[in-house]
């Protein structure tokens, strides 16, 4: 909900306010006569003419290791029924992204446990890799598998600084889906290094708008203390819709698809906070895996075309591949990683060098092979090999593979041991 408040003449942009009923809000529109405030919570208890107090503080959330294993809302309040948080510090939700001097180029691998991702679109620590696709194509499955895979990766780490902590931000999802996710993570003992931030479908739009920034602030605690974080935003299309709703109610001028003019800045200021820090500033990192849902596979819509240039590559998932049983349903032609290959393990880089080329040739030939039945031996061999490589890259859900096994499997496939 939106409240118009009069008399708060010296309020700061983004400052928290408190209504008489105890509900909090944030000042977004500072106008001549009044202040436009978005309400974090139910607006039914708010009445005309009641008192609104400034808190004097910009919105902040709890951060620290006490958050691990907990499920919190967008303001960092626990919603898992396990009591108050332990010792923690508080961090501002909106902070500037690290500057150029504080950064270092991405060079360490972030293992997802998925053969198709680690070979074709590798991800490094500090990278922003978009997962984009229609509904029900397995976007969340890739993100969850990545979290589950950190269990074995973290158990191998010799020092605290090698551990990768995970923050999963659920935006506009059903409560049952979030509960199911908590169960999957706890059964795999993955909650011990994870934080869940949930702004569910029944939560007000301001909380859905704020949740990604809150999750980012929690992940930045690890990045700024020389540790590593992975932050999954599932999904940013719903955040954009929530922001559109707030902006229209605040009477901001609408633009394309009724989104406000600064919807690009909404996502860019969030994703720019993912970074690999330089050795002088602690060498920590935060990796971002934003998820975007497309409509009927349209990657050229407004929000996808905004987020694709901000990120360092994208994993495109397709409904058609999913229904053909190719899972993860990655479209190899459209998916790309712009920096991840620098972070790939040497062994993996050596074995999967020709894989992408061979799959591209296979797709090209397969398109023509539909029309003719009399194929020469070389073309038939290429088709058979491509089909086998595609089969090798398939992987069931919640079954991440150790990187050594992945290298052996890919080596066997590329060197032709599967062709016989």
**Residue 66 located in a structural domain:** yes
List, in order, residues 6 or more apart from 320 with CB less than 8 Å away: none
214 & 354 share domain: no
Q: What is the pLDDT of residue 269?
A: 96
pLDDT of residue 257: 95
Task: State how many domains the chain has.
Answer: 3
Q: What is the pLDDT of residue 371?
A: 81
Radius of gyration of the chain (CA): 23
d(CA 289, CA 226): 20
Beta bridge partners of 61: 91
DSSP code, position 284: -
Q: Which of the following is catalytic: 252, 269, 338, 363?
A: 338
Indicate whether 21 and 101 sit together in one domain.
no
Distance from C-alpha of 345 to C-alpha of 109, rounded to nearest angstrom: 7
Residues 183, 218 within the same domain: yes
| pLDDT of res. 232 | 98
d(C-alpha 195, C-alpha 66), whole Å? 10
Q: Is residue 109 a part of any domain in this protein?
A: yes
What are the Cα distances from residue 40, in Å, to 45, 170, 248, 347?
12, 17, 17, 50
Q: Token pair of 132, please?
A: 């984009």
Same domain, 255 and 394: no
Domain finish residue from 40, 58, 76 = 58
- Nearest Cα to 336, choosing from 360, 364, 368? 360
Q: Is there a domain that residue 420 lies in?
A: no
Q: Is residue 186 part of a domain?
A: yes
Of 319, 344, 369, the residue that ends a domain is 344
* Low-confidence spans in the chain with pLDDT less than 50: none
Which two tokens mark 381? 């061999």
Q: Is residue 377 part of a domain?
A: yes
Beta strand pairing call for 228-234 and 164-171: parallel
Instruction: Give percent helix, percent strand, percent coil of the chain, each to the nearest 5.
Output: 40, 20, 40
Confidence at residue 79, expressed as pLDDT on a 0 to 100 scale? 96
Our answer to whether residue 338 is catalytic in this structure is yes
Strand pairing class (164-171; 336-337): unpaired
- Same domain, yes or no: 81 and 45: no
* Count of positions (residues) in the chain: 420
Cβ 330 vs Cβ 116: under 8 Å: yes
Token couple for 177:
């889906």
Reported pTM: 0.96
Same domain, 305 and 191: yes
pLDDT tens string 202-224: 999 999 999 999 999 999 999 99
* Residue-level pLDDT at 375: 84
pLDDT value at position 374?
80
User: Are 123 and 193 part of one and the same domain?
Assistant: yes
pLDDT at 16: 96
Look up the domain containing 16 and give its range: 2-58
Q: Which residues pair with 234 in a beta bridge?
A: 170
Contact 245, 205 (CB under 8 A): yes
**Residue 103 domain flag:** yes
**Same-domain check for residues 274 and 383:** no
Alpha-carbon distance 386 to 365, whole Å? 10
As a whole number of Å, the end-to-end CA separation of the chain is 64
Cβ contacts of residue 337 below 8 Å, gap of 6+? 120, 121, 122, 123, 127, 129, 312, 313
Domain of 395, CATH number, reads 1.20.150.20
CATH of the domain at 219: 3.40.50.300
Is residue 213 included in any domain, yes or no? yes
Are 272 and 228 contained in the same domain? yes
CATH number, domain of 19, equals: 2.40.30.20
Which of 38, 58, 78 is the last residue before a domain boundary? 58
Residues 68 and 34 reside in one and the same domain? no
Tell whether 180 and 198 lie within a shared domain.
yes
Classify residue 391: in a domain, yes or no. Answer: yes
Tell me, what's the pLDDT at 233?
98
Whether 100 and 137 map to the same domain: the answer is yes
């Amino acid at each position: 909900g939106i409240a118009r408040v009069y008399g708060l003449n010296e309020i700061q942009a983004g400052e928290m306010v408190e209504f008489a009923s105890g509900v909090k809000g944030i000042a977004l529109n500072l106008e001549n006569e009044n202040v436009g405030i978005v309400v974090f919570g139910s607006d039914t208890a708010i009445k005309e003419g009641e008192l609104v107090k400034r808190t004097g503080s910009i919105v902040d959330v709890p951060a620290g290791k006490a958050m691990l294993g907990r499920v919190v809302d967008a303001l960092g309040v626990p919603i898992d029924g396990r009591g108050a948080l332990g010792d923690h510090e508080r961090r501002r939700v909106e902070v500037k992204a690290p500057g150029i001097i504080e950064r270092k180029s991405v060079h360490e691998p972030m293992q997802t446990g998925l053969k198709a991702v680690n070979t074709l679109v590798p991800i490094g620590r500090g990278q922003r890799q978009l997962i984009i696709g229609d509904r029900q194509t397995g976007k969340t499955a890739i993100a969850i598998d990545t979290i589950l895979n950190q269990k074995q990766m973290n158990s191998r780490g010799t020092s605290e600084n090698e551990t990768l902590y995970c923050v999963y931000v659920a935006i506009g999802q059903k409560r049952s889906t979030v509960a199911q996710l908590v169960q999957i993570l706890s059964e795999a003992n993955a909650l011990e290094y994870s934080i869940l931030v949930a702004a569910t479908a029944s939560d007000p739009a301001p909380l859905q708008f704020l949740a990604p920034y809150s999750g980012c602030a929690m992940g930045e605690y690890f990045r700024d203390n020389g540790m590593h974080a992975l932050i999954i935003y599932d999904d940013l299309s719903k955040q954009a819709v929530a922001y559109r709703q707030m902006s229209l109610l605040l009477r901001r001028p609408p633009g394309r698809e009724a989104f406000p003019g600064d919807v690009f800045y909404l996502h860019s200021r969030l994703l720019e906070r993912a970074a690999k820090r330089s050795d002088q500033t602690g060498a920590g990192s935060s990796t971002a895996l934003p998820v975007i849902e497309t409509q009927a596979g349209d990657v050229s819509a407004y929000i996808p075309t905004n987020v694709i240039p901000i990120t360092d590559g994208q994993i495109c998932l397709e409904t058609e591949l999913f229904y053909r049983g190719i899972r993860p349903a990655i479209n190899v032609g459209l998916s790309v990683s712009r920096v991840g290959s620098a972070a790939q393990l040497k062994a993996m880089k050596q074995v999967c060098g020709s894989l992408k080329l061979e799959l591209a040739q296979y797709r090209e030939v397969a398109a023509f092979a539909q029309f003719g039945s009399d194929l020469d031996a070389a073309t038939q061999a290429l088709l058979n090999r491509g089909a086998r490589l595609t089969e090798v890259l398939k992987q069931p859900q919640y079954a991440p593979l150790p990187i050594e096994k992945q290298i052996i499997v890919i080596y066997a496939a590329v060197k032709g041991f599967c062709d016989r």
